Structure 1
Amino acid sequence: MTTALQAIRLASRLCQKVRKELAGGASIQKNDRSPVTIADYGSQAIICKLIREAFPDDIVVAEEDSAELRKPDHSSLLHQVTGYIRDFFPGVSSEEVCSWIDLSSHSIKNRFWTLDPIDGTKGFLRGDQYAIALALIENGLVQLGLMACPDLYVDKDRPHEKKGCLFLALRGKGSFQMGLDGEGRQTLSVSRVDNPVKASFTESVEPDHADHQTHLKIAKKLRITRPPLKMDSQVKYGVVARGEATFYLRVPSHSEPGYKEKVWDHAPGAIIAEEAGGKVTDLYGKPLDFSSGIQLERNHGILVSNGILHEVILKALEI
C-alpha cells in the first residue's frame, strides 16, 4: 500500500508539472489512433520502477511501451520525458527511463498489477479530467485500487474550488477519498437515490468512446431529465463512488464493433465503486472478469451504479 501510494503521488506530480508547463505537451499517435504524451511515459516509468523494486516477483500490466519513444524522430520527446523524471530521480539516463517503461507486460499471472499511466489522455491534452489508475489483482479479483485525479474538485458541492483527489479502496475495507497530499481522508458512499426520475448519470466526453445516442434513449426510458455529467477517464467511477452521480453507463460505440474493454481502464475504478457500496457489471449484468488477459473478453459494455437502481437500469437496456 505504501509503495503504491508513493508511486501514484509522484506520478501525479509529474503529470501536473507537464500540463502546467507544456499545456499537455507533445504527443505521439499510436496504431489505434490514440495519443500518448510525455506524461504517459513519465508516469508509467515512475510507477513501474517503484512497484517492481518493492515487489520483484510481481508483473505490471500497463498500457505503454518505449518502442515509439526510442525512434530517432522522437528523440526530443524522450529527452523531455527524461528531464521530467530527473526531477524525482536525478541523474537517470534516457536508456534507464525506457527500461523502466518496459518493466510492464501484456501477459498476466495469478497476481499482477495493472496500470493506466494517464487514463483519459485526450482529457489531459485538452485541459479536462484524467486519472493515474493502478490496481492489484489476485486470482481475478481486484484487491486494491488507487486513482489520482489531479483536476477533480475535492468537494462535489463546490466544483469551482479546490482540486486534486486521490481515491483508494481495499477489498473488504471500504473506499476513501483524500487530497493528493493524503490529507482530508473521507469514507465514500454511493448515492441512496431509489427513484430513477431523480437519478443522474455520467458518461465519456468523446462520442467515439461510447454510444451516446443509446445512453440518451436509456435516460428517456427512465425519465431522467438531468443532462449527463460528461467526464474523461475512470474519474467517472469516483463520482459514482462518492454519490455525485447515480450511475455510469458505457454502451460500446457502433464505430468500434467488437471492441473489448482493457483491464487497466476499469479494474482500479471498479473496486473503488464497489467498496463504496456500488455495483459494477457489464450490460448483461455479469461481473467484470479480470482473469482473461489484458482485455475483458467475457464482458460487453459497463454499468456502474449505486446498486439500488442496477436492475432497473439493466432492464431499461433491453431496448
Structure 2
Amino acid sequence: MTSAPAPTPGSDPLLKTLVEAALAGGREVLAVYATEFDVELKGDKSPVSEADRRAEAVIEPLLRAAFPDIPVVAEEAVSEGRVPAIGRRFFLVDPLDGTKEFIKRNGEFTVNIGLIEGGRPVAGVVLAPALGRIYAGAGDSAWTAKVDAGSTRVEDAEPLRAREVDGAPVAVASRSHSTPETEAALDKVGAAERRSIGSSLKFCLVAESAADFYPRFGPTMEWDTAAGDAVLRAAGGAVVTLDGRPLGYGKLKVAGMRDFENPFFIATGDAALLDRLELSPAE
C-alpha cells in the first residue's frame, strides 16, 4: 500500500473544527465520568446519561457556528424528535458512543463526529477521551494522536494506514454478543485471533493496522458508524454492506428500517478479505 501523507492535525480547517468540537464534548463527558452519574433508558431501551446530553449540547452549537449551512443530525436530538431536513451534506453526531462502556467505566467510549456528502462519510473524528486518543480522517489522509482531553492539545500525531493481510487476519468482534452470522464470517476469512473493544474504536483498530476485519451483524445507527467509517476509508479501508456496496448514509423511509438505521456491514482494511466472503467493494 502507498504511504499516508504526513499527519498535520491543524492544517485542514474542517478537521480542525471537528477536533475542537470533539474535544469540547469530551471534556463534558469526562466531567460526568468523574461523578456518580445516573443513567436513564430511552424509548428504544438504550441507556442515556447526563454525559450524552451535555456533550451534544456543546458540540451542536460549535458545528452550527462554523458551518451554518450544514444540518446537524445528533443522536439525542433525534431521540427527542428534533430531526433537521438534510441535503447532500450533513453532520452525524454521537456525543457518547458506547454508553454501556461508559457505565462500566472501562474507558472504551467515544465522541463521534462525521461529515456526510452525497451519502458517503468524507471526514470524521473519533475521540476516546478516557484513553487520551483521537483518530481523524478526510479524503485519503488519516491520523491518530495523543490528546490531553482536559485541554485542546493534540500531540505526537502519526499517520494511519490499514494493512494488507499477511497470513491469518485479526478480527474485531464481540464474544459476548456474537451471532451465528458473525461466527460464519470469521470462519470464512480464516480469522485466527479475535479482539474485542467497545464503541467506534472497532473501526479505529482496523484503521491503525491492529486488526483487519470487523463484521457487524447487529443493529447500528448512522451516528454510531459515520466517524469511524470516515477514518477507516481515509486510511485505505472499506466498509460495505452484504451486497458489496459501500455503506451509505442519509437513509430515510426505508421499508422495515428506522430512519438513519444501518443494515449489516463488513469493515476491513484489506479488500481482498471481501473476496473470501464473495463480496467486492462496489463504487
Q: CA deviation at 1:27?
A: 1.3
Contact 2:251-2:259 within 8 A present in 1 as well: yes
Specify the alignment match of 1:219 in structure 2.
186
Q: Are residues 106 and 201 of structure 1, via their aligned partners in 2, closer, same or farther at CA, if it must alter by over 3 Å?
A: farther
Q: Deviations over 1:265-307 (max 9, x none)?
A: 111111111111111101221111113338456x631111112
Q: CA deviation at 1:114?
A: 0.8
Specify the code of the residue in structure 1 equivalent to 2:60. Answer: C
Q: Are residues 216 and 270 of structure 1, via their aligned partners in 2, closer, same or farther at CA, if it must alter by over 3 Å?
A: same
Answering whether residue 201 of structure 2 is matched by residue 235 of structure 1, we say yes
Distance in 1 of aligned mates of 2:200 and 2:250: 20
Query: For 2:55, which of 43, 48, 64 is the aligned residue?
Result: 43
Specify the alignment match of 1:175 in structure 2.
142
Answering whether residue 96 of structure 2 is matched by residue 118 of structure 1, we say yes
Specify the code of the residue in structure 2 equivalent to 1:123. Answer: E
Q: How does 1:102-117 map to 2 (within 5 A)?
A: 105-117=83-95
Q: Deviations over 1:206-262 (max 9, x none)?
A: 62xxx4333223323443332x2122211100000000011111113xxxxxx5x42
Q: Are residues 122 and 249 of structure 1, via their aligned partners in 2, closer, same or farther at CA, if it must alter by over 3 Å?
A: same
Q: How does 1:1-319 map to 2 (within 5 A)?
A: 1=14, 2-22=16-36, 25-65=37-77, 105-128=83-106, 129-151=108-130, 163-172=131-140, 174-180=141-147, 181-195=153-167, 198-204=168-174, 207=177, 211-226=178-193, 228-252=194-218, 261-293=220-252, 295=259, 300-315=263-278
More off after superposition, 215-224 vs 178-187: 215-224
Distance in 2 of aligned mates of 1:164 and 1:212: 32
Q: CA deviation at 1:33?
A: 0.5
Q: Are residues 3 and 311 of structure 1, via their aligned partners in 2, closer, same or farther at CA, if it must alter by over 3 Å?
A: closer
Distance in 1 of aligned mates of 2:21 and 2:119: 23
Q: Deviations over 1:34-56 (max 9, x none)?
A: 00111100110000011112222
1:33 partner SS: coil
Specify the code of the residue in structure 2 equivalent to 1:13. Answer: R
Q: Are residues 66 and 240 of structure 1, via their aligned partners in 2, closer, same or farther at CA, if it must alter by over 3 Å?
A: closer
Larger Rg: 1
Contact 1:120-1:233 within 8 A present in 2 as well: yes
Distance in 2 of aligned mates of 1:52 and 1:248: 33
Distance in 2 of aligned mates of 1:225 and 1:4: 36
Q: Are residues 4 and 60 of structure 1, via their aligned partners in 2, closer, same or farther at CA, if it must alter by over 3 Å?
A: same
Q: CA deviation at 1:108?
A: 1.8
Q: CA deviation at 1:106?
A: 4.8
1:286 partner SS: coil
Contact 2:134-2:146 within 8 A present in 1 as well: yes
- Aligned pairs, how many? 254
Structure 1 vs Structure 2: percent identity of aligned residues?
A: 28
Unpaired stretches in structure 2, ≥5 consecutive residues: 1-13, 148-152, 253-257
Distance in 1 of aligned mates of 2:119 and 2:72: 15
TM-score, normalization by structure 2: 0.82
